[in-house]
Structure 1
């Protein structure tokens, strides 16, 4: 027996990536690092791990 195979049809949608308004943020590396550390602390990482992050980042 031979089964009829249907050709797969894929649909592509055109997406519009233009922003409605331009948003510009100027963040320092220190500010971004502190936000990152807040996230890591909320994840419940060990105190030693948190301290190692600070040692390796070497905040001035």
Structure 2
């Protein structure tokens, strides 16, 4: 699995990072780097929860890429 992280700067100066392929996975940060780090951590938690709930026995190949 590969996920694309989209970032944007809000009018109030905060950064938002989002993974559109994972509904609800978005995070704010004071810097772009902080927002990206937070959204990566959230994505991993969401994926771990999905895997646990589905009880998949197949190994997964997961990577996360960030758009400039």
**Would the TM-score normalized by the shorter structure come out above 0.5?**
no
Greater relative contact order (Cα < 8 A, sep 6+): 2
More strand as a share of residues: 2
Q: TM-score, normalised by structure 2?
A: 0.30
Q: TM-score, normalised by structure 1?
A: 0.32
